[in-house]
Structure 1
Amino acid sequence: MSSESDLLPGQLFDRDMEEALIGAVLINPDVYLDVSQIVEANDFYYKSHQYIWEAIQHLYATERSFDALTIRNELIAQNHADDTGGVDYLAGLANRVPSSLHAEYYAKSINDLAIRRRLLASANDIAKLAYRKDFDIDTTIEMAEQSVFGIGESRYKSGLVPVRNVVRDYIERLSEKSMHTGELSGLGTGLRSVDVVLDGLHASDFSIVAGRPGMGKTGFLIGIARHVGLELKRNVAIFSLEMSSEQVLERLVAQMTEIDSQKLRSARMSNREMDLAMHALELLSEAHIYVDDTPAITPMQLHTKCLRLKEQGLDLVIVDYLQLMSGGVRTENRVQEVSYISRALKGLARDLDVPVLAAAQLSRAIESRQDKNPVLSDLRESGSLEQDADIVMFISRPHQSEKDHPDRNKAKLSIAKHRNGPVHSGIELVFIEPLAMFHDLYRGQIPE
């Protein structure tokens, strides 16, 4: 039997390996369940072997058993008998291998060669794309990345897992948590009153922070990025679709130094303030906070960039804000496009096992209501946002427009949806407008 190292240059298929796998499942049909999680019919190079594997798939799904004779009958029913060598060929395959012991190895080898063929086909497609001058370069790069990324994604197949495996992992997590009682199980936000309700931001959760313009959504997100990146020393990716990377940096410095953003922008600062700003910039230059200010970024572009960063370490993804993203795919209307973006961000959180936190706008309909408290149906442009999100938070500042009101700087953060925890009608915070920064209403506050 040939091995991969024996293949001729440019030969990305192995007939012996394909025949060995089919022979192995004919000898012992019980191994089919294991290898079917690794290899699919279109992973086989030879059409005849694809037809045989499809026949085996169908027979196992309907009859829970198969042999050379029933496979032949299925091939006849599918009009592929003449293309596959008949029952003698099938019987001969069972004699090609002594046992089914190495069936999993055969399957992995076939799948590996199939992926290499797909990579080669993708490379050819990318070469053709490079000559397409009717596409701009950004579109060309995105299509090329999407082509290769799709092959990579197909390698990770989620299958049924025995619950005993889940129990084992869960016990390990419980044991670890029991040794750190009092600590958050997720990433802290820097706001104790929020962390008490959420228990931090958890890996694979997609969370939305929504509010009308001017409520402080960006400041809230930047405050979390500052806490996670600087105080927790974790890796944070900020996708800023509304502000430039320099403006994001300015917001970070304002929160770190408590220097008015306008002073930073104009550089009209005292010597002490300048020293504070320079020290903050030094700290930021060492932090693992990454900013991408690509306008109208697509989910595919965002996913690709996060995937690259994940190799170095990625603990939190922030998107500001969701409705400024472009779907990058054809949809009938904007509602469908936002729904696609929402599902993609939830998929990103699951695929990379990191928290994804996105700002979102609320519908203007809230302004015409007597009750100004946001509800889930106020999420703008898509009903799927409330469905896809694990957590939905609403920021409001009830007395923002009343300049002389004593509670003008008070804000309310309501947890309207919390898939794995409690909701809350309104956590009270303070919003410091010149710094676009939130803090707890009372230090050490625990919400009721």
Structure 2
Amino acid sequence: REELDAVGGSSYLAELTNYVPTASHAASYAEIVAQAAVRRRLIKAGGDITELAFNEELTVPQLLGQSEAELFSVSDASLKQDLSSMEDILNDSFERLDELYKNKGAIRGIRTGYRDLDNKTAGLQRSDLIILAARPAMGKTTFVTNLAYNIATIEKKSVLFFSLEMSKEQLVDRMLADAAGVDSWNIRTGNLSDEDFAKLADAMGEMAEAPIFIDDTPGVSVLEMRTKARRAAHDGELGLIVIDYLQLMQGSGSAKSSANRVQEVSEISRGLKLLARELNVPVIALSQLSRSVESRDPKIPQLADLRESGSIEQDADIVMFLYREAYYNPETERENITDLILAKHRHGPVGTIELYFHPERLRFMSLDRKHGE
């Protein structure tokens, strides 16, 4: 009876049943409990060290030694949770390999809606940092909005989209053009037929159900992004984070020179990789390539073009480039073909994937799907 009163009584316990958490957040709740436990141990250790400091029978070396031991006991208990034995790792590996063996060729990551890309990457892998780089007008934003919409509607996973270049309204208009099959310029100018308007209304109904969350705060920092992403992950399963684009992000300090800006971009790319690992979610960051690409022929992007931008290439698990030959050569027979160049793939093959670009709808499609239409 006394113990029941100590925790708030039967009425309080009955009230708690109204706040039963969902099992999908179990890992997040466990992390909160673990961090609170560390804080409690630190508070206790701080009190013990304070008492030791008032004990004049102890010499300073003894005081420092015992104080260090108190703090080390807290650190040791916390760090042990981050260490895994070879046996535990191999057990997990066997289960994963057994599943892959039983389902040969299965896409084990998050499907993008682009078959050739999924076949090369086995889907987007959790904790990967993926860089999509290109010169302006190649279709970076269009491709990544297509991909994000595919993941939200096909995979039914939440997508967090940080749009630093466009407003959320502009971004949604692009998605609408694709979803409704309506010319994007007509949407922008309002030059719509009754049929177009009906298509847009239907598309809006479908899009409203898509778990896509857009943040168009300009100049957001990695720290701010991390806070918002953790909140989104806490509210539900997060399937993808998109940043458009990396060079518009703010680092921890102001860049007073180009050299400092390179260091700042390196700091940002490392922060994004840590974010991907912490939240166990793929992060796609768009990157603008410099004009040096256009000083050579052919003007196909290369990994060396990223080396001018700090450690982006080193931090990335996957680096992809978009290249449209028709932009530089209007006479080409590949008028609507865009090359998606998989230039770096830390855990798999590289190569080039051809996509069909529908400029009016702002839509990239796999060639097999385009031929099917």
TM-score by length of 1: 0.65
Give the deviation of 1:372 after TM superposition: 1.6
Size of the alignment, in residue pairs?
325
Residue 188 of structure 1, aligned match among 94, 106, 111: 111
- Are the aligned partners of 2:323 and 2:340 in contact in 1 as well (CA < 8 Å)? yes
| Unaligned runs of at least 5 residues, structure 2 | 1-5, 7-37
Residue 357 of structure 1, aligned match among 284, 289, 292: 284
Q: Take 2:168 and 2:50, find their aligned partners in 1: how far apart are those partners?
A: 54
Q: Does 1:443 align with 2:369?
A: yes
Q: Does 1:174 align with 2:101?
A: no
What fraction of aligned residue pairs are identical, expressed as a percent? Answer: 40
Deviations 1:190-211 (A, max 9, x none): 1111111111100000000000
Give the deviation of 1:269 after TM superposition: 2.1
What aligned pairs does 1:201-220 form with structure 2 within 5 A after superposition?
Answer: 201-220=124-143
- Are the aligned partners of 1:241 and 1:325 in contact in 2 as well (CA < 8 Å)? yes
Question: For the pair shown, which has the larger CA radius of gyration, 1 or 2?
Answer: 1
| Unaligned runs of at least 5 residues, structure 1 | 1-5, 7-37, 53-71, 94-105, 112-154
1:309 maps to which residue?
Answer: 232
2:300 maps to which residue?
Answer: 373
Q: Does 1:273 align with 2:196?
A: yes
1:328 maps to which residue?
Answer: 252
Give the deviation of 1:183 after TM superposition: 2.9
Deviations 1:220-269 (A, max 9, x none): 10011110011221110110011111111111111112211111122322
SS in 1 for 2:171: helix
1:229 maps to which residue?
Answer: 152
The structure-2 alpha-carbon separation of the partners of 1:385 and 1:80, relative to structure 1 and needing over 3 Å to count, comes to same
Query: Letter of the aligned partner of 1:432 in structure 2?
Result: H
Alignment RMSD: 3.4
Q: Does 1:81 align with 2:66?
A: no
The structure-2 alpha-carbon separation of the partners of 1:83 and 1:269, relative to structure 1 and needing over 3 Å to count, comes to closer
Q: Take 1:249 and 1:315, find their aligned partners in 2: how far apart are those partners?
A: 19
2:353 maps to which residue?
Answer: 427
Residue 384 of structure 1, aligned match among 311, 314, 321: 311
- Are the aligned partners of 2:246 and 2:287 in contact in 1 as well (CA < 8 Å)? yes
1:12 maps to which residue?
Answer: none
Q: Take 2:51 and 2:247, find their aligned partners in 1: how far apart are those partners?
A: 44
Deviations 1:279-331 (A, max 9, x none): 11111111111001011110011000000010122110011111111113356
Q: Take 2:48 and 2:305, find their aligned partners in 1: how far apart are those partners?
A: 53
SS in 1 for 2:368: coil
The structure-2 alpha-carbon separation of the partners of 1:50 and 1:370, relative to structure 1 and needing over 3 Å to count, comes to farther
Query: Letter of the aligned partner of 2:295 in structure 1?
Result: S
1:413 maps to which residue?
Answer: 340
Q: Take 2:330 and 2:61, find their aligned partners in 1: how far apart are those partners?
A: 80
Give the deviation of 1:46 after TM superposition: 4.3
The structure-2 alpha-carbon separation of the partners of 1:232 and 1:81, relative to structure 1 and needing over 3 Å to count, comes to closer
Query: Letter of the aligned partner of 1:282 in structure 2?
Result: G
The structure-2 alpha-carbon separation of the partners of 1:197 and 1:411, relative to structure 1 and needing over 3 Å to count, comes to same
Give the deviation of 1:355 after TM superposition: 0.3
Does 1 or 2 have the higher relative contact order (CA < 8 Å, sep 6+)?
2
Q: Take 2:250 and 2:64, find their aligned partners in 1: how far apart are those partners?
A: 47
The structure-2 alpha-carbon separation of the partners of 1:47 and 1:176, relative to structure 1 and needing over 3 Å to count, comes to same
